[in-house]
Amino acid sequence: MSDVNTTLEASALANRWLSIRNQGASRIGVAVLLSCVTFVGVCGGLAACGPQEPVQPDYPSLKIDRDDEARVNEIIQQTMIDPNYLTPSVHKEFWRLLRKGEPTDEEIREFREFVTSVGTTYQMYFWEDARASVMSGKPYRSPDRVAYEEYLLSIGALTHSEIERNDDILEKIAAGKPIDVQGQEVRLGIREIDITLENIEEVLGRVERLFTPQDD
């Protein structure tokens, strides 16, 4: 399999962190697995990072039972992974389950923003910086990414050590050095980064469609 195909496939698989649920809580929740928090376009967990304990962020509370919570998280996960998963029936099921907890519009908005914060938004900032870094040959930290990292730190979805690890990876990308992707040494150029950015935009679009209610 080529590096480009590996990048395309793993762009979706990295969102498996959505299936890591908050044990012992009667509310919808997702936990961020540190080993794959940044590399949505590259892998489902860098082998070089090793196993990491998931962070339990301060996610919004939407009170539904454990089985419904698991199904909602599954729908979100599969919507990110599979472009063809979000059918009208799945969309209707998602909203039926979500409404069991009688969430307010604000609670739903907060939950949607939390889901997209690491899974897509931060990925976009990172890979835009990666593209600029490749172009200049020097690692670049945009003000937008720095500000968003502060936000993710504040909700417990990212750690300082993870940011440092992300910056180390960015230095390698800028210098044209390979990074370890599921046991393979891969060099990322503009083409691979552009594909990654396109994939992230597609994932974000699917999540936005999922969280947009339709008339019953």
The residue ranges of every structural domain in the chain are 3-210
Instruction: Report the chain's mean pLDDT, rounded to a whole number.
Output: 73
pLDDT in tens, 116-173: 887 788 889 999 999 999 999 999 999 999 999 998 888 777 889 989 989 999 999 9
SS3 36: helix
CA distances 11 to 29, 47, 81, 147, Å, are 22, 16, 8, 24
Mind listing the pLDDT tens digit for each residue in 52-94?
A: 333 444 445 567 888 888 898 889 889 988 899 999 999 999 9
**Model's pTM, two decimal places?**
0.67
Helix (H), strand (E) counts: the chain: 8, 2
SS percent in the chain: helix, strand, coil, step 5: 60, 5, 35
- The two three-digit tokens of residue 145, written as one number: 């990414």
| pLDDT at residue 3, rounded to an integer | 36
State residue 35's pLDDT score: 27
Nearest to 205 by CA among 90, 103, 119: 119
| CA distance linking residue 31 with residue 18, whole number of Å | 7
Is a pLDDT exceeding 90 seen at residue 196?
no
User: Using CA atoms, how far apart are residues 79 and 72, in angstroms rounded to an integer?
Assistant: 11
- Those residues with Cβ within 8 angstroms of residue 39's Cβ, 6 or more apart along the chain or in another chain: 10, 14, 45, 46, 169, 181
Task: Decide if 14 contacts 127 (C-beta within 8 A).
Answer: no
